[in-house]
Structure 1
Amino acid sequence: MKDFFKIQFLWIMLLSVFMVSCNRTDDEVPDFPEGTTEYTNRWIQDSMRRYYYWADQMPAKPDYHLPTKDFFKSLLSSQDRFSFIVNTTDPNTYPKSVRNLFGFDYAILQLSGGEVVTVVKLVLKNSPASNSGLERGMVIKKINGQTITASNAQQLAESISTKTVIDLTVGNWQNGAVINEKNVTVYYGYSLEQPLLSKIFEQNGKKTGYLYMYDFPDGITSALSQKFSEFKSAGIQELILDLRYNYGGSVSSAAALCAMIPSGISANSRFIVYKGNKNGGELSRTFSRQIAYDPGALSFDALHAHSLGLNRVYVLTSGSTASAAEIVINNLKPYMDVIQVGDTTLGKDMAGFIIEDKRKPKKITWQIHPVIYKVFNASGEGGYINGINPQFSVNEFNNLPLMPLGDPSEALLSSALNKIYSKQGNTNADGNEIKVLFQSDSPAAGFSGFNFK
């Protein structure tokens, strides 16, 4: 009898194990101890399953033992070019580029005769680069003693991201040659917030406003309002937005800019539609509501008081025009003609917000920057993953030396002004066919994208 009960007990135990095994789903994973890599990776997986646009493509059984960055990459869709993750306690995990390390960008060009020339195309105000005397239009002959060629361009760009100081040999371009060569040392450092640049051009009584925007940070609405107040007081009839180096930022700031340009919009006009995964669903936001997501922003009515009421706008673009800057282009189209001059934009037709551990004290220091939504305009148009193509394709490097931004003879601005004032554009001052071999702000360089709010 004792053996019978023993056998019966074993059968019950086996049956229980079988039932538990049958009821276990692929989603179940063991609980990992706090502080372990596996615990962090499980948190990342749970967060991504809830928010990630391509959550349904994530692997069912990832390897929780991978290093955190590798684990995160293993979750990403092959369609995803933009999601990234950083450890807030480790600066080495943040995206690095020449621009965010030193405050400048350059392009390597090949002239018609085969000569390779490296030009400085952007220098941020109050940056390490500007403090060292670097200026847009300068030519870089050497980086850390190495002459730049088409074959070593990528390697040199990657090596810069590991440095805290770089030595450059630079000069000025004149009549097809480099003059006034000198050595410049640029130290790693912080670049201060970039100011707006505006100008007003007039010809035959017709006034054109020009506005250069480097990015779309929260809190910019007061500065934007002031610029548009000046434009409106001057009575401008045309507007040129220079977004060629604008990586994006806050969608709310982009909405604020758009609120001051076209005629026929109100606070309740639809500005943007977000489409997410099965959890996120679809969200629609008016101009007023989107602007209000920036807690420091002026209201729609305060901004719209300075509206120019235009029927068309010219936008200068490049392959560095991304995210919120692309939203400006796409989301103005339902309300006015958008005439794009320059190059095809980057193609970030998506939005996201930062996901981090909100517990106090914080148990996980990693911060996720995932793609969460695809974005569309009031007419339901979006899907520009390959970029937004310009109506007028213009290579800003066709005129060397590069002129300062806002100079009416600068290639992209000159082209837009010529179209406004119906003049024949000057396409190539040197008569060369310029080929772009490499740019330091290519997508591989990394950038922070833009905020959902």
Structure 2
Amino acid sequence: MRKFLKLQFIAIIIILISCTENDDNAPVFPEGSTESVNLWVQDSLKRYYYWADQMPAKPDYHLPVKDFFKSLLAPQDRFSFIVNTEDSSSYPRSIRNMYGFDYTVIQQANGEVVTVIKLVLNNSPASNAGLERGMIITRINGKTVTAGNAEAITSTMKDLTVLDLTVGNWNNGTVTDEKNIKVYYGLSFEQSLLSKIFEKNGKKAGYLYIYDFPDGMTQKLSQKFAEFKAAGVKELILDLRYNYGGSVSAAAALCSLIPSGITSASPFITFKGNKNGGEVKRTFSQQIAYDPKALDFNTLRTNALGLNKVYILTSNSTASAAEIVINNLKPYMQVIQVGAVTLGKDMAGFTVEDKRKPQKIRWQMHPVIYKVFNANGMGEYSNGISPQVSVNEYAVLPLLPLGHPDETLISSVLNGTYFKSVNQKMSAEGVKILYQSDVPPIAAGKDL
């Protein structure tokens, strides 16, 4: 449950005593019935939902609540979802939040299909079982993974509590040292920041891998940037390739630590909602302050690097608040994006639930409420943010650990584009990504 709430952009709980519209023709249903819950869902969405004007005028109130909610959503909405807080099975599931890893199925130039573990969370069931980034999965629950069955196998995995995996290592174009591993369903604990300092061409480059943006992380960010500053770092590589997002306040705090020339009054973000929500503009200082545990803007700025350029590593799993970092730094500095196009979540929302005491409705909605824009009014990246330098992470196998200087995306900055012109293309010839266990993680209400 923590993962799903973490991926909300704004930590606000709306107290909904009643959202009933002043409509004399509104239907009336017995309290506690499915129809009464659906009416609450409809009235709430009319007030907050970004696409409220596209909702059907006469929905079927007799549908099950989850189906009713989906029937109200706009066709272009990939991200809104609803859960029953009394039913854990109603929450979105993913391989990452159930087992702590993700994988990608690729086709090599010779036509061979290979399933590569791309991410293993620290202190997760997967890491405890011995899985590592770069391993090759040859079988899942006895089945060989192919481009044709990968999605079906992944869907089945979400209904299990234990996985039987056959994995091996990639060595000179073949899988070696195969072994069987069981991974049990369980919790993955908070992921720590990973930092490195590289030296190239006489200059020091700081590397920072950020898995997500939880509230309360500003102290850790400030400490990392203090270390970079003390070491004389003049270039920065942000690794957001697997970052689904999280708190906009945490993203604003990160952004405040990077460029030169910004003040507490510098505009950071604009939220644009429906006719009820209107437009909300926030400065760096205002957005950071929405996290009550955050260090304030001026404190953070004491450790700012004051750069005019930043490299950001991305993939199709880079989403929401991570995309805000990319888009909202652009008015203040040169952003060189390296990797793959991002997921395209240019929207924000907050949790909508019944806070009456006693609570009468146990359903909790996570609708899209705002579109987000940077200080220059730039947004509308629902198709993703495209990199200036396209790099296929799977160009070279085995995948190296995150933070390794020879890892494909990192080395493409250190050795391929460092201080050079961009607009290059560095994709691996013939290597195709056929399926990723986490992309798109939210497209069908799967994992927000």
> Does the 8 Å CA contact 1:415/1:426 hold for their aligned counterparts?
no
Partner secondary structure for residue 394 of structure 2 = helix
* Aligned match for 2:247, one of 227, 246, 250: 250
CA shift at 1:112, angstroms? 1.2
Q: What corresponds to 1:14 in structure 2?
A: none
> Does the 8 Å CA contact 1:376/1:382 hold for their aligned counterparts?
yes
Q: What corresponds to 1:330 in structure 2?
A: 327
* Aligned match for 2:267, one of 259, 267, 270: 270
Partner secondary structure for residue 396 of structure 1 = coil
After the TM superposition, which residues 422-437 of structure 1 pair with which residues of structure 2 at under 5 Å, given as runs? 433-437=430-434
Q: What corresponds to 1:111 in structure 2?
A: 108
Q: What corresponds to 1:130 in structure 2?
A: 127
Q: 1:166–1:306: structure 2 CA closer, same or farther, 3 Å change rule? A: same
Q: Distance in 2 between matches of 1:423 and 1:275?
A: 35
Structure 1 moving runs of 4+ over 6 Å:
24-27, 423-426
CA shift at 1:31, angstroms? 2.1
After the TM superposition, which residues 289-438 of structure 1 pair with which residues of structure 2 at under 5 Å, given as runs? 289-418=286-415, 419-420=417-418, 433-438=430-435
Partner deviation per Cα, 1:27-79 (whole Å, 9 max, x = no partner): 73222222111111111111100000000111111111100000000100011
Q: What corresponds to 1:144 in structure 2?
A: 141
Q: Distance in 2 between matches of 1:36 and 1:195?
A: 45
Q: Distance in 1 between matches of 2:33 and 2:109?
A: 57
CA shift at 1:351, angstroms? 0.4
**Runs of 5+ unmatched residues, structure 1:** 1-23
1:168 aligns with 2:155: no
1:261 aligns with 2:258: yes
Partner secondary structure for residue 120 of structure 1 = strand
**Amino acid aligned to 1:81:** R
> Does the 8 Å CA contact 1:214/1:246 hold for their aligned counterparts?
yes
1:55 aligns with 2:67: no
> Does the 8 Å CA contact 1:313/1:336 hold for their aligned counterparts?
yes
Q: Distance in 1 between matches of 2:24 and 2:203?
A: 65
* Aligned match for 1:91, one of 88, 112, 118: 88
**Amino acid aligned to 1:292:** A
Partner deviation per Cα, 1:312-363 (whole Å, 9 max, x = no partner): 0000000100000000000000000000000000011010000011111110
Partner deviation per Cα, 1:355-413 (whole Å, 9 max, x = no partner): 01111111011100000000000000001010000000000000100000000111111
**Amino acid aligned to 2:219:** S
Q: What corresponds to 1:443 in structure 2?
A: 440
Q: What corresponds to 1:20 in structure 2?
A: none
Q: Is the radius of gyration larger for structure 1 or structure 2?
A: 1
Q: Distance in 2 between matches of 1:25 and 1:331?
A: 39
CA shift at 1:433, angstroms? 2.2
Share of identical aligned residues, percent? 68
Q: What corresponds to 2:236 in structure 1?
A: 239
Q: Distance in 2 between matches of 1:423 and 1:187?
A: 47
Partner secondary structure for residue 173 of structure 1 = strand
CA shift at 1:417, angstroms? 1.1
Q: What corresponds to 2:13 in structure 1?
A: none
Worse-matched range after superposition: 331-340 or 437-446: 437-446
> Does the 8 Å CA contact 1:26/1:60 hold for their aligned counterparts?
no
Q: What corresponds to 1:21 in structure 2?
A: none
**Amino acid aligned to 1:183:** N
> Does the 8 Å CA contact 1:203/1:421 hold for their aligned counterparts?
no
CA shift at 1:444, angstroms? 4.9
Query: Which structure has more RCO (C-alpha within 8 Å, separation ≥ 6)?
Result: 2
Higher helix share goes to which structure?
A: 1
**Amino acid aligned to 2:152:** Q
Q: Distance in 1 between matches of 2:52 and 2:407?
A: 45
**Runs of 5+ unmatched residues, structure 2:** 1-20
CA shift at 1:203, angstroms? 2.5
Q: 1:254–1:360: structure 2 CA closer, same or farther, 3 Å change rule? A: same
Q: TM-score, normalised by structure 2?
A: 0.92
Q: TM-score, normalised by structure 1?
A: 0.91
* Aligned match for 2:190, one of 188, 193, 211: 193
**Amino acid aligned to 1:145:** G
Q: What corresponds to 2:12 in structure 1?
A: none
Partner secondary structure for residue 443 of structure 1 = coil
Q: Distance in 1 between matches of 2:146 and 2:290?
A: 47
Partner deviation per Cα, 1:284-312 (whole Å, 9 max, x = no partner): 00000000001111100111111100000
CA shift at 1:25, angstroms? 9.5
Q: Distance in 2 between matches of 1:96 and 1:82?
A: 14
